[in-house]
Structure 1
């Protein structure tokens, strides 16, 4: 029941992101288009990541960069968060530029 609700909420969120992408494209707001594309990619990545990252972490013998396994997992968690920050930064900068015109 709870997993179904979470899946429904995720699909609704993806639908809203696609709606935002289409509206940004319709009004030629390219910062919004890029921002929504990044956010859609990140949401799709969150669906796929548990199935693709788990085998990598389980089968790793020695993590790269001379780090421990927990540091490697923390690094893998930083990548989507950084991309999320970049997407929102692009959106905010684009909105400020659009308001100045």
Structure 2
């Protein structure tokens, strides 16, 4: 994930408002990713991400929120430690960084 994505005011606002659908849309657009890419990074299904981005679904399960934030490697400074896994790694992907997960997929 390009570092500049997290510096964008609209991305930070989406995080602050916990608007995860908007966050996914912005991150995908700014990072030039497809929903399939975000699905591989986060372990969330492409179908769920599509519904999340369209507003048909909300992300309310804290474990899934942590999975999304960890998978996208959102800086902890933007989320706070309560919304991150203790080791910063999703259970599905271990500690690989997002760019290496995409390259190996």
TM-score surpassing 0.5? no
The TM-score with structure 2 as length reference comes to 0.27
The TM-score with structure 1 as length reference comes to 0.28
Q: From the two aligned structures, give the one with the greater helix fraction.
A: 1
